[in-house]
Amino acid sequence: MIRSAIVPVAGHGTRLLPATKSQPKEMLPVARKPIVQYVVEELVANGIEQILFVTGRSKSSIENHFDSDPELTRVLKDGNKKDLLAELEFEELDANFFYTRQRFQRGLGDAILCGENFAGESPVIVALGDSILGINAESKAVQRMTELFMDKRASCVIAVEEVPREDVVHYGIVDVAENSDGTLRVAKIVEKPTVEEAPSCLAVAGRYAFSPLIFDMIRRVKPDKRGEIQLTSAIQMLCEEGKRVLALKLRPEERRYDIGNFPSYFETFVEFALADPLYGKDFRAYLERLLCGGSSPSSSS
């Protein structure tokens, strides 16, 4: 099994400025929780026991979030606020947290390389800190990726999902061929291709399983025009060297919510808020009134 995961959270998040000027995008809330909490809960539910965050400047709130806060707990206990104490139960999650800093934001590949000593000789999961899989992160994709990785002795397994043709320009896109056992072999991967160049509409979806070989590949990648070391280039090297790189399709209910840009962040927030067991129903009614141009929304809250 794979028990360790690297969660890169060091990016500048410029597409979400000004919200991300002094706080990490991974700490922005989606409905009730910060995005990175969904990611961690998903990983722990998939058997991950140790998590390395690759952080950067102004990211200390992530470390604080996963630490216990005895003073806050005492205040809530003294006030007999049992329901609010329950909201802090995630502090007891069965995982060990580690932190390291990417000193210069030289791209995702470079951020993953910061996890080399953490991974050691063992395979590792990489989960992007700005992407949630499925409503409320109820996804077992990482577990299926781990099983596939072990069963097929793969060097890399990538989670992928179908995107509309016009959207391929935003993602890493894979070219796959079906093996005789029904698994999908990745022949090629291209970062943000044009619509014409894209070999398929299967987009990389923010979760990877890697053997330690990936670190050697990353070291060999030359920086791109923006000076970034692309993880996609390192995976392409694995393909070119004939290593077994497989793709695993996400199930429709595991769709990837990428909160790295405002349109997608807004959609994700609204969808998760609508699914909230306590507030979702009233929020839906409010939205319906708002969209139907009925009674003034301000008078309805």
Applying CB under 6 A, the residues found at the interface with ligand UTP are 8-15, 54, 102, 105-108, 110-111, 128-130, 260
Pick 130 or 254: Cβ nearer ligand UTP = 130
Minimum CB distance to ligand UTP smaller for 16 or for 184: 16
Closer to ligand UTP by CB, 54 or 189: give it: 54
Nearer to ligand UTP, 76 or 142 (CB): 142
C-beta nearest to ligand UTP: residue: 11
Burial class of residue 132 (count of CB atoms within 10 Å of its CB; 0-12, 13-18, 19+): buried
174 — phi, psi (to 5°)? -105, 150
86: its two tokens: 């329950």
Rounded Cα gap, residues 22 and 283, in angstroms: 30
Q: Which two tokens stand for residue 241?
A: 């060297």
- Smallest separation (angstroms) from ligand UTP to the CB of 232: 11
Shortest CB 42 distance to ligand UTP, Å:
14
Smallest distance, ligand UTP to C-beta of residue 26, A: 6
Q: How far is the CB of 178 from ligand UTP (least distance, A)?
A: 29
In the complex with ligand UTP, the residue whose CB is nearer, 115 or 184, is 115
To ligand UTP, the closest distance from the beta carbon of 207 in angstroms equals 12
In the complex, least distance from residue 154 CB atom to ligand UTP, rounded to whole angstroms: 22
Please name which of 130, 119, 151 lies closest in space to residue 205, comparing C-alpha atoms: 130
Residues 291, 289: Cα–Cα separation, whole Å: 6
Cβ nearer to ligand UTP, comparing 137 with 184: 137
